[in-house]
């Protein structure tokens, strides 16, 4: 078990985790139409920063916001884990190194690039490295910036919705892309109160590169793993991937039903943030924690794509 | 028409990366999806892009592709009727 | 940790469990030669980008050597330059004035796709993970931590370095690693 000791979100909806929670609570969405953001690219609906952001400075600001004691960042007991799909203009390693060096951290950073599940997988990697005793602190940063490269590719897949996405709705027309940076800090030092990451699991459907299994096999196995010793009635909130593409949502629904979790309230946040790719798993975990704090205590978060799930508990 | 069919077969082999396949290996009337060539959903999108790039035909709705992509012949017929280049 | 199989592939050489394999081609053609010799019945290979072809062939050759295919429960790979070679191929399809984004190339603009290709081929429904690291030796502690993790229920993983920065510049060193 590892303990969450800090977090932050920077998105078009606001600076800081609480500002983003407030936006979600009041129903404010970052999604809008962009006509001429990138040359050649057809108009698309997304959640983007008004001023285009540079990748590394955005990550650095997110880390600074999440951490109270900055001296921890330069410690040899701390590892930086970056979750991203396209990094800084297709370069994934250099930005991770630049961020770690900026904070004077002596350890080689780890970049997790597992498509849509990267943000959840990066937290699972953090848990493993901490539990193996290799480090005492893990700073997990999730970030992706939208580019002509990414938007044109999703358009070539005909996967983008022309309007704000509607996860799990019969009206769903596809996904929206989004930008964000989010940081979550874990430690193996026991904390008396607060959130802890109890379990994490990753499974592949082994079905098709771009189409999930009809039986939700990978997601179902993830849920079964992290639910070991826990009853569905013990779970108070389920954070889902919910991209609003036909096949993803159907797959998730099947997996949720197979795991007996269909009565659990669901948090699907992409109508607010769009699909923030490498940041999604981190953004959504933080917001699930904050949503759960209002009235709930336990929750499960984030699967889809490759499929990964974690279980969090608040004491 | 026959010339267009031959040309289209070469373009399909090219676009879908069928190494070692020649136009003669593709049956003009065989189904492209399912049994025939066994194409998948990404290949369908690649065919939509091929129609745009080579013949100036824009298919906005991928579902409309189903009827057009039944076989090389149906594709060629649609191209002949709708091409802009 | 115990290593039962190991393969090293460069554009001019293949070494399987310490024994060099004779090849007549080099560069990207060599991967096709290996495909024809050791696989032959999986035409999807030709749709793969070089990074996926590299990992796929490496996995195939190791698993053909033994009957461990059904016991591999995870694929954990890493490299330094992610999917940059295929990213550049995709970029060429969206160049200014010649904008026809290719979905078949865009699929491969994620490095972890190679882990998916291996999982699909060998029906591995356990974990697949891809890491971007500075050096190959940095993967070892991650694999160890994964094998020891409580919920991973892993006993046998296919792990290693799988790198392709340009068309004919690639390197793979893959292993089958056991927990006991």
Quick check: B41 and A158 CB within 8 A?
Answer: no
- Say whether pLDDT at A112 is over 50: yes
User: What is the model's pLDDT at position A300?
Assistant: 64
Confidence check: pLDDT of B66 > 90: no
Residue A302 has a pLDDT of 52
Q: Which residues of A touch C111 (CB under 8 A)?
A: 113
Q: Are A155 and C101 in contact (CB under 8 A)?
A: yes
Average pLDDT of span A25-54: 94
Look up residue B46 and give its two tokens.
Answer: 């690649």
**Cross-chain Cβ contact C104/B17 below 8 Å:** yes
Interface mutation target, options A90, A100, A122, A159, chain C, most CBs of C under 10 Å: A90
Distances in Å between the Cα of A110 and the Cα atoms of A91, A118, A175, B44 are 14, 12, 29, 37
The number of angstroms, rounded, from the C-alpha of B24 to the middle of its chain's C-alpha atoms is: 15
% of chain A exceeding 90 in pLDDT: 78
Q: Tell me the pTM.
A: 0.95
**Yes or no, beta carbons of C125 and A125 under 8 Å apart:** no
CA-CA distance, C106 to A178, in Å (whole number)? 18
For residue A138, name the pLDDT band (cuts at 50, 70, 90). very high
Q: ipTM of this model?
A: 0.96
Distances (CA, A) of C81 to A133, A159, C51, C165: 28, 27, 11, 6
The CATH number covering residue C17 comes to 3.40.47.10
For the purposes of burial, counting CB atoms within 10 Å of the CB of C23, is it exposed (0-12), middle (13-18) or buried (19 or more)?
A: middle
Confidence of residue A305 (pLDDT cuts 50, 70, 90): very low
- In this prediction, residue A298 carries a pLDDT of 55
Judge: B49–A156 Cβ closer than 8 Å, yes or no.
yes
Domain B2-82 has CATH 1.10.1200.10: yes
| Dihedral sign for Cα atoms in the order A48, A49, A51, A54 | negative
Q: What is the CATH number of domain A2-187?
A: 3.40.47.10
DSSP A39: T
Work out how many domains chain C is built from and give that number.
1
Beta pairing class for A298-301 and A137-144: unpaired
Residue A297 confidence class, pLDDT cut points 50, 70, 90: very low
Structural domain that includes position C95: 2-178
Residues A192-240 have pLDDT tens digits of 999 999 999 999 988 887 778 888 999 999 999 999 999 999 898 999 9
Mean pLDDT over all residues of chain A?
93
Residue spans of the domains in chain A: they are: 2-187, 195-314
A157–B45 C-beta distance less than 8 A: yes
pLDDT tops 70 at residue A244: yes
Domain range A195-314, its CATH number among 3.40.47.10, 3.40.190.80, 3.20.130.10, 3.40.50.720: 3.40.47.10
Closest CA to A156 of C86, C93, B74, B18: C93
- Convert B53-71 to b/e letters by CB count within 10 Å (16 or more is b): bbbebebeeeeebeebbbb
Whether the Cβ atoms of residue A204 and residue C125 lie closer than 8 Å to each other: yes
In the structure, what pLDDT confidence band is assigned to residue A66 with cuts at 50, 70 and 90? very high
Same fold, A2-187 and A195-314: yes
Q: Is B25 or A31 the better-scoring residue by pLDDT?
A: A31
Alpha-carbon distance A267 to A54, whole Å?
29
Q: Which of residues 78-117 of C touch B (CB under 8 A)?
A: 100-104, 107
Residue of B41, B45, B49 with shortest CB distance to A211: B41
Domain ranges across chain B:
2-82
Q: What's the burial of C134, exposed, middle or buried (CB within 10 Å: 0-12/13-18/19+)?
A: middle
Q: What is the pLDDT of residues A147-206, one digit of tens each?
A: 999 999 999 999 999 999 999 888 889 999 999 999 999 999 999 999 999 999 999 988
**Which among A113, A129, A200 has CB closest to C111?**
A113
Q: Is the pLDDT of residue B36 over 90?
A: no
Residue A242, Ramachandran bin (φ over 0: left; ψ between -120 and 50: alpha; else beta): left
What was the pLDDT predicted at A246? 85
pLDDT of residue A190: 97
pLDDT the model gives residue A296? 44
Which active-site residues of A does the annotation give?
116, 241, 275
What's residue C45's pLDDT?
Answer: 93
Neighbour-count burial for A41-70, b at 16+ CB within 10 Å, e otherwise: beebbbbbbeeebebbebbbbbbebbbeee
Could you tell me the mean pLDDT of each successive run of 10 residues in chain C, 180 residues long? 95 97 95 94 91 98 83 95 97 93 95 96 94 98 90 83 96 94
Phi, psi of B27 (to 5 degrees): -75, 125
Plot region of A244 (φ>0 → left; ψ -120 to 50 → alpha; else → beta):
left
Strand A195-202 to strand A237-239: parallel, antiparallel, or no bridges (unpaired)?
unpaired
Where does B1-85 have alpha helices with state H?
A: 2-15, 41-55, 65-68, 72-82
- Alpha-carbon distance A115 to nearest alpha carbon in chain B (angstroms): 18
- Give, as one character, the DSSP assignment of residue B54: H
The verdict on a CB contact (< 8 Å) between C104 and B52 is no
The pLDDT value recorded for residue C65 is 80
C120 touches chain B (CB under 8 A): no
* Separation of alpha carbons A39 and A178, rounded Å: 18
Q: Between C163 and A27, whose confidence is greater? A: C163
Q: Is C99 on the interface with A (CB under 8 A)?
A: yes
């Amino acid at each position: 078990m590892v303990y969450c000791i800090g977090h932050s979100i920077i998105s078009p909806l606001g600076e800081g985790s609480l500002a983003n929670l407030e936006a979600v609570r009041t129903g404010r969405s970052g999604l809008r139409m962009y006509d001429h953001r990138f040359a050649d690219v057809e108009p698309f609906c997304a959640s983007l920063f008004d001023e285009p952001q540079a990748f590394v400075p955005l990550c650095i600001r997110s880390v600074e916001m999440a951490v109270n004691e900055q001296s921890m960042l330069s410690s040899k007991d701390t590892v930086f884990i970056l979750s991203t799909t396209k990094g800084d203009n297709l370069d994934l390693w250099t930005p991770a190194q630049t961020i770690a060096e900026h904070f004077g951290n002596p350890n080689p950073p780890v970049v997790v690039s597992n498509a849509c599940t990267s943000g959840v997988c990066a937290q699972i990697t953090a848990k493993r490295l901490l539990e193996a005793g290799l480090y005492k602190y893990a700073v997990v940063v999730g970030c992706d910036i939208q580019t002509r490269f990414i938007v044109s590719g999703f358009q070539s897949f005909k996967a983008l919705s022309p309007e704000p996405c509607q996860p799990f709705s019969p009206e769903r027309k596809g996904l929206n892309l989004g930008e964000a940076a989010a940081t979550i800090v874990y430690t193996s030092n026991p904390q008396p109160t607060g959130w802890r990451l109890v379990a994490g699991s990753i499974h592949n459907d082994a079905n098709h590169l771009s189409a999930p299994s009809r039986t939700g096999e990978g997601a179902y196995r993830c849920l079964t793993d992290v639910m070991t010793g826990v009853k569905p009635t013990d779970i108070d909130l389920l954070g889902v991937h919910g991209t609003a593409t036909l096949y993803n949502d159907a797959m998730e629904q099947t997996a949720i039903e197979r795991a007996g979790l269909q009565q659990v309230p669901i948090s699907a946040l992409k109508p607010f943030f769009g699909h923030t790719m490498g940041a999604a798993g981190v953004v959504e975990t933080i917001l699930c924690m904050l949503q759960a704090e209002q009235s709930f205590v336990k929750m499960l978060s984030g699967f889809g794509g490759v499929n990964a799930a974690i279980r969090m508990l608040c004491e | 028409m026959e010339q267009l069919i031959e040309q289209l077969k070469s373009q399909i082999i090219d676009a879908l990366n069928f190494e070692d396949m020649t136009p003669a290996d593709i049956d003009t009337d065989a189904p492209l999806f399912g049994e025939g060539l066994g194409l998948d959903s990404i290949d369908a999108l690649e065919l939509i892009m091929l129609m745009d790039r080579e013949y100036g035909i824009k298919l906005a709705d991928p579902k409309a592709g189903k009827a057009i992509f039944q076989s090389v012949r149906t594709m060629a017929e649609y191209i002949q009727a709708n091409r802009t280049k | 940790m115990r290593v039962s199989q190991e393969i090293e592939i460069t554009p001019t050489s293949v070494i399987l469990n310490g024994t060099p394999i004779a090849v007549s081609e080099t560069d990207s053609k060599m991967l096709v030669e290996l495909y024809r010799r050791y696989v032959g019945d999986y035409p999807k290979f030709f749709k793969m980008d070089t990074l996926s072809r590299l990992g796929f062939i490496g996995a195939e050759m190791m698993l053909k050597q033994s009957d461990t295919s059904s016991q591999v429960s995870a694929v954990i790979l890493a490299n330094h330059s992610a999917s940059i070679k295929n990213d550049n191929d995709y970029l060429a399809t969206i160049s200014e004035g010649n904008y026809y984004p290719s979905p078949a190339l865009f699929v491969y603009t994620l490095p972890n796709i190679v882990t998916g290709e291996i999982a699909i081929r060998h029906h591995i429904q356990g974990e697949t993970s891809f890491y971007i690291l500075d050096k190959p030796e940095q993967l070892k502690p991650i694999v160890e931590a994964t094998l020891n993790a409580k919920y991973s229920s892993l006993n046998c993983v296919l792990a290693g370095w799988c790198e392709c920065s340009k068309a004919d510049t690639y390197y793979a060193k893959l292993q089958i690693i056991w927990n006991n």
